[in-house]
């Protein structure tokens, strides 16, 4: 393969967007490497990738596990396919609140202020409900709609009614920057079809002769000439090893794979690299640190009517966003109705999830060995920060109200978790959060962007590596912390921001 101008590692939520934007310039050659398979035609795309009614958990998964709290180890689904996690997720299309991005700006990234990222959010979407509003777009690659009342499952109709009965306001658009309350989720799906970045962005870009998509290409490491990134070593599906040189390397493998690839390339905490005999290219103590996510805990209910539970229906349709009592972080809590829980054929269960949207605590990701095939050790350390525990426990208390008052309560035969017989006072809820809080599947922050004076910052606000040339990182890993939203749209927005900077001012990315 001839040396391309740009080599992108990872064809996921951000990488697919950047490849699309850069390749709009016909004079710029782009190679997009992806560890998983590619399905160029929708007719040949497997059903688990089409079916937006539920996540794809295993068929196109990396197989990560993580320790959310002490003494636990559970699966951590991440998409291994062209489209990345945007091709396997629940298609929740939330943006977060303006304060998220303004706080990123205050941490040394001024070009990520809300008023600067809003045009990118608008550019990526085709909002079918509110596209005429100034804070929305109506012509982007990602179609977004909300379930109207007549398409809501009984559980979700009851949830919205109960929210009103419990005193929460109606929120017609959860992406209204100033609103809060309960309403239908904005979702990037059309019927069952999951509108991933593979479909929204790459499908129309595939005809470009200057864009090459190379699936089943597992990257071992980035190659360096001194401090300059020069190429990539990767493994083909048949096990053969190849290298490819490129003018610019862009790492878009996600918040879990990108730090692992950097460490296997010789960039990371020196003690870890020395432990596994990896030659040091440059010390970066922030690689793998600052892991941020959304701790969550669910109330699991058995339905009175077994016919209410259908695992083929949409798992999520509605959301309640609000602010914890006494919190300075607006909309830092979410409650979500889940249409079903457990396994098909089991007891007729559904769940109501309590989610902490603004997290103070941090986890870390570490290497497991020198073998790039060995997945890293991931420790989220949820609820080790008391500020998180207090608010998540309060959210659980609010969630339990739905099981006692209003229309959701009328659907419930019994509570499976937490066990009401053991008491559900604040002390019990706090202990449950510390023991059982789990991931909302929104890891980020492991290669955070920020000012170069911050020793834990790895890249600048444009994704350029602080201490290495010709290396850019662009995915959830560069977020300073998780926004108050599922990271789906924020990752696509990052692709729009950095993709446009690369397209319009490519030479700026030649060196840090």
Residues annotated catalytic, as ranges: 442
Distances (CA, A) of 111 to 160, 289, 490: 37, 23, 15
Distance CA 52, CA 186 (A): 13
- Number of alpha carbons in the 13 Å side-chain half-sphere of residue 170: 5
**Which of 15, 8, 2, 12 shows the shortest CA–CA distance to 31?**
8
**Which of 423, 422, 424, 403 shows the shortest CA–CA distance to 414?**
403
- Are 192 and 52 in contact, with CB atoms under 8 Å apart? yes
**b/e burial code for range 88-119 (CB count within 10 A of at least 16 → b):** bbbbbbbbbbbbbbbbbbebbbeebbbeebbe
- Are 267 and 468 in contact, with CB atoms under 8 Å apart? yes
Distance CA 348, CA 369 (A): 43
DSSP letters, 321-389, are: EE--TT-SSTT-EEEEEEEEES-TTSS-EEEEEEEE-S----BEEE---S-TTSPPEEE--TT-SHHHH
CB contact set of 114 (below 8 Å; sequence gap of 6+): 98, 99, 100, 101, 102, 177
Distance CA 230, CA 411 (A): 60
Terminal Cα distance for the chain, rounded: 27
Distances (CA, A) of 333 to 82, 162, 398: 32, 17, 10
Distance CA 175, CA 310 (A): 29
């Amino acid at each position: 393969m001839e040396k391309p101008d740009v080599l992108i590692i990872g064809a996921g939520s951000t990488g697919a967007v950047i490849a699309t934007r850069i390749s709009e310039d016909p004079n710029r050659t782009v190679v997009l490497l992806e560890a998983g398979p590619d399905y160029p035609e929708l007719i040949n795309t497997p059903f688990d990738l089409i079916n937006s009614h539920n996540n794809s958990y295993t068929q196109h998964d990396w197989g990560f596990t993580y320790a959310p709290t002490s003494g636990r180890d559970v699966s951590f689904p991440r998409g291994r396919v062209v489209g990345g996690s945007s091709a396997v997720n629940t298609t929740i299309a939330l943006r977060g609140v303006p304060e998220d991005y303004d706080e990123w700006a205050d941490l040394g990234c001024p070009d990520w202020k809300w008023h600067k990222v809003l045009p990118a959010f608008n550019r990526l979407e085709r909002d079918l409900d509110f596209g005429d509003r100034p804070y929305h777009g109506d012509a982007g690659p990602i179609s977004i709609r909300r379930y109207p009342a007549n398409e809501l499952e009984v559980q979700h109709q009851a949830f919205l009614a109960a929210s009103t009965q419990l005193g929460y306001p109606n929120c017609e658009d959860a992406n209204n920057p100033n609103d809060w309350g309960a309403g239908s989720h904005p979702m990037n799906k059309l019927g069952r079809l999951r509108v991933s970045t593979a479909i929204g962005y790459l499908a129309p870009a595939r005809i470009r002769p200057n864009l090459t998509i190379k699936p089943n290409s597992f990257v071992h490491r980035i190659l360096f000439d001194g401090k300059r990134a020069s190429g990539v070593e990767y493994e083909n599906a048949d096990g053969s090893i190849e290298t490819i040189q490129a003018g610019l390397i862009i790492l878009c493998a996600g918040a879990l794979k990108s730090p692992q690839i950097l460490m296997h390339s010789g960039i990371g905490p020196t003690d870890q690299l020395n432990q596994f005999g990896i030659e040091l290219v440059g010390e970066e103590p922030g690689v793998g640190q600052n892991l941020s996510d959304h701790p969550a805990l669910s109330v699991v209910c058995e339905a009175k009517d077994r016919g209410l539970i259908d695992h083929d229906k949409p798992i999520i349709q509605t959301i309640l966003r609000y602010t914890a009592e006494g919190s300075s972080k607006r909309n830092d809590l979410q409650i979500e109705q889940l249409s079903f829980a457990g396994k098909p054929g089991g007891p007729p269960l559904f769940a109501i999830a309590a989610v902490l949207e603004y997290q103070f605590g941090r986890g870390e990701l570490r290497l497991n060995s020198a073998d790039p095939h060995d997945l890293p050790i991931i420790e989220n350390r949820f609820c080790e920060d008391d500020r998180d525990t207090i608010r998540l426990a309060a959210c659980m208390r609010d969630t339990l109200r739905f099981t006692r008052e209003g229309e959701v309560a009328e659907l419930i035969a019994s509570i499976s978790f937490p066990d009401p017989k053991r008491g559900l006072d604040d002390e019990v809820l706090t202990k449950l959060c510390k023991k059982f809080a789990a991931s909302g599947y929104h890891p980020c922050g492991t290669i955070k962007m920020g000012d170069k004076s911050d020793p834990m910052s790895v890249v600048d606000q444009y994704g350029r590596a602080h201490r290495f040339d010709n290396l850019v990182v662009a995915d959830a890993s560069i977020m300073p912390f998780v926004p108050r939203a599922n990271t789906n749209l924020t990752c696509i927005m990052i692709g729009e921001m950095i993709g446009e900077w690369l397209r319009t001012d490519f030479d700026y990315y030649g060196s840090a």
